[in-house]
Amino acid sequence: MRARHALLCFVSLGSLSFVGSASARLYEHLFASGFDIPVDAPGSDAEAARFLTQASFGPTPSEIARLRGIGYNEWIDQQLAARTTLVRPFVESVVAARTAAGQNVSQNHRVDRWFWIAAYADDQLRQRMAFALSEIFVISDQGSAISNNYIPMAEYADVLGHDAFKPYRTLLTDVTYNPSMGKFLSHFRNQKPGTTTQPDENYAREIMQLFSVGLVQLNMDASPVLQAGNPVATYDQTTITHTAKVFTGLTYSDAPTNPANFYGGAVTNAGTYNPMACWGTELFASTSSNMRHDLTGDDGTTATAKTVLGGLTIPAGQSCADDVSDELDIIAGHVNVAPFVSRQLIQRFVTSNPSPEYIERVATVFEDNGTPAHERGDLGSVLKAILLDPEARAAPVDASAGKLREPLLRITALWRAWGARAPAANAYGEVIMSAGISFLSSTGQKPLGAPTVFNFYEPDYQQPGPFADQDLYSPELQIHNETTAYTTGNVFYSYTRKAYVGMNLPPDNQTLPTDRPLLDLAPLVALVATPSAMVDLANARMMYGTMSPTMRSTLINMVQFMSGASPQEKAWSLIYLISLSPEFAAQR
C-alpha cells in the first residue's frame, strides 16, 4: 500500500509546475510523511477545487493536485508563510518609465497589476484576504482626493497584503495611519476644534460603523443584543464628536516640522505613502495653541478628556500618538469586533448566510487563537477557522448555502481554469491585463474602486423577492442588474472569443492581442470529437463538477450542433456560455 502511495505522489509531483522553494517545501513534506496521503487531504479533485474556489482566485489543475498531495492544513500553512507579492514597487517603476517617455499614467497600471497578481502570484490566500479586506476597509480611486494617487493607492494594497494574516489591531493601526485612507476619509490634516471649526467626523464615524463594531451591539453569533425587544446602539453622536478629536493633527510623515507648514506637501515621494505622523509634541516643541492635534479643549487652553466608544475615557493632555493608540486599543478591544469582522469575512470567502453557530465558532477563534499566547484578533487563525469549518467543507445541502461570485473573481477563475497566458511586458515594463475595459461601469467592480466607502455592496443587502422574503442576505446581487448583466457578458466575450491562443485573426489584424491573457484551449480541442467529454472537462475545471444534468445536456447538444464550427470556436463558445451561466456565478 505504501508503494502505491509513493507512486501516486511521484506521478502527481511530476505533473506540477513548481519553481524553487515551493517545490522544495512540498518535496520535504512528502518525505516527512513517508509518502502517506495526509489525513485531511481532499477526497476528490472536486472537493479540492471547491476549497480553492473559496481560498484563492480560482483552482488550477496543478494546484488541485498539490492540495490533494499535502492536505488542507499544510496548504493553508504554506500560504500563511508565503511572501507578499507587491503592487507599489511595480507601479512605481511603470509610472517612472512612462513619465520619462512623456506618456500618460493612470490608475490602470495598478489595476493591471492587481489582475496579474490574482491570476499568477503564488500567495493566493494572502491576496484573496487582501481583496476581502479591501471591501471592508474601503478606499477608492473614485474619491477625488486620491483619484490620481496611483503609487500611494498601490501602497495601500500592499498594506492590506502585508497585514492579511496579522493581528487585527495591527491592521487597524496601519489603515488609520495610511495617507490614502486619511485623504479618502478626511482625517488627513484634520485640525483640532477652534472657535469657528470642528474636526471632520468622517473617519471617526466609519472606523466604528464599517471597520470594527457596527451600529448595534452584537452577541458572539452576530445577532443583535436586545433590550425590551429593541437593538442597543453601539455609540452615539457624542462618541463620534469626541472620537473625531482623536484623529486630528495627522499629515505627511516628512512634512516640514513647522506648524505653519501643516498644509505643506510631502518632501519626498515616499512621504506620500509612508504612514502619517502626528503634529504634536512628537515633532516639534511649541505651545499647545499652535498644535494641530487636540491636546487641549475647544477653547484652546483647557485640557479635556475624550469620552469615546463604550463610554471609556482618553485622558486629557496626551500626545497625538498616545491618543490614537488608546483609541485604537479601545476600538480593537470592543466585544463587537470579533462577530462583526468574522461574519463579513465568512461572507467574502464561503457563504452569504452563515449560520449563527458558524459565526460564533469563528468569532471565538478571533477572541483567542488557541495558542499559548492566546492572541486576540489573529487574522491568519481566523481565516483558517473560516476555511476549515464544517460548514465550509461539508457539501452544501441547503438552498441558502454559498454565495454569488463577484464579477472580478469570475474573471480570475476563468483565467486560472484554462491556463491563460499573460501578455508580454511592454516597453515600460507593464503587463496589460485589462483589455481596455472600464470594469466599474461594465461589472460594477474595480480593484480599490468602489463608488463609496460602503463598498460595491453591503453585507446586509437583501435582494427584493425570494431572498428578502426568506430573510436571506445576498450582498453581491446589489450590483447585479439589467445593465451589468449585459455589460458583464461583453467583458467575458472579450476574454473568450477575443482572447485565446491560436485564434483566427481578421485580415486587418495579424497579431494576437497584447492587452489581455490568452486562454489555452488545447485541453478542450483535444476532446472535440466527444462533446460530452468536452463538457465534462469544462465542468471539472470551472464548476468543480456541480453542473446540473440539464445544463450539461444543453451544452452537449450545443457543441454537437455546431457542426460547421472549428474546434477552437466550439471550445471558446463552451467556456463563454458557462461563464455567463447562473450556475457558474453561484459559488456553492
Summarize pLDDT for 126-181 with one digit per residue, the tens: 999 999 999 999 999 999 999 999 999 999 999 999 999 999 999 999 999 999 99
Look at residue 15 and give its three-state secondary structure.
coil
Q: Give the pLDDT score at 260.
A: 59
Within 10 A of 103 (CB to CB), how many other CB atoms are there? 12
Residue whose C-alpha cell reads 505613502 in the numeric block:
273
Task: Give Cβ neighbours of residue 149 (< 8 Å, ≥ 6 apart).
Answer: 141, 180, 183, 272
Summarize pLDDT for 326-342 with one digit per residue, the tens: 999 999 999 999 999 99
Q: Give the pLDDT score at 197.
A: 81
CA distance 62 to 298: 62
Within 10 A of 548 (CB to CB), how many other CB atoms are there? 12
Residue 513 scores a pLDDT above 70: yes
Instruction: Give percent above pLDDT 90 in the chain.
Output: 80
CB burial class (10 A; 0-12, 13-18, 19+) of residue 482? exposed
Return the ∠ at Cα 562 (arms to 559 and 567), rounded to 5°.
Answer: 75
Residue 508 scores a pLDDT above 70: no
Residue 290 scores a pLDDT above 70: no
User: How is residue 141 written as a grid cell?
Assistant: 480611486
Instruction: Give percent above pLDDT 70 in the chain.
Output: 88
CA distance 408 to 395: 25
CA distance 173 to 175: 5
Alpha-carbon distances, residue 253 vs 150, 203, 267, 323 (angstroms): 18, 19, 9, 17
CA distance 210 to 520: 41
Summarize pLDDT for 528-577 with one digit per residue, the tens: 999 999 999 999 999 999 999 999 999 999 999 999 999 999 999 999 99
Task: Give Cβ neighbours of residue 175 (< 8 Å, ≥ 6 apart).
Answer: 137, 159, 181, 211
**Phi/psi at 167 (5° precision):** -60, 145
Average pLDDT over every residue of 464-487: 95
Summarize pLDDT for 205-253 with one digit per residue, the tens: 999 999 999 999 999 999 999 999 999 999 999 999 999 999 998 999 8
Residue 285 scores a pLDDT above 50: no
Alpha-carbon distances, residue 491 vs 123, 387, 442, 484, 544 (angstroms): 26, 30, 7, 10, 23
Query: How does the average pLDDT of the chain come out, rounded?
Result: 90
Of 139-148, 263-272, 313-322, 572-581, minimum mean pLDDT range: 263-272
CA distance 124 to 465: 36
Q: Give the pLDDT score at 19.
A: 40
CA distance 459 to 475: 5
pTM exceeding 0.85: yes
Residue whose C-alpha cell reads 509610472 in the numeric block:
95
β partners of residue 307: 313
User: How is residue 165 written as a grid cell?
Assistant: 494574516
Question: Of all helices (H) and strands (E), which one includes residue 314?
Answer: strand 313-314
Alpha-carbon distances, residue 271 vs 357, 457, 588 (angstroms): 45, 32, 44
Task: Give Cβ neighbours of residue 8 (< 8 Å, ≥ 6 apart).
Answer: 37
CB burial class (10 A; 0-12, 13-18, 19+) of residue 16? middle
540 contacts 45 by C-beta, under 8 angstroms:
yes
CA distance 423 to 448: 23
Residue 81 scores a pLDDT above 60: yes
CA distance 90 to 114: 11
Alpha-carbon distances, residue 199 vs 65, 234, 292, 323, 440 (angstroms): 55, 21, 10, 15, 32
Average pLDDT over every residue of 42-48: 97
Give me the half-sphere count of Cα atoms (radius 13 Å) on the Cβ side of residue 212. 26
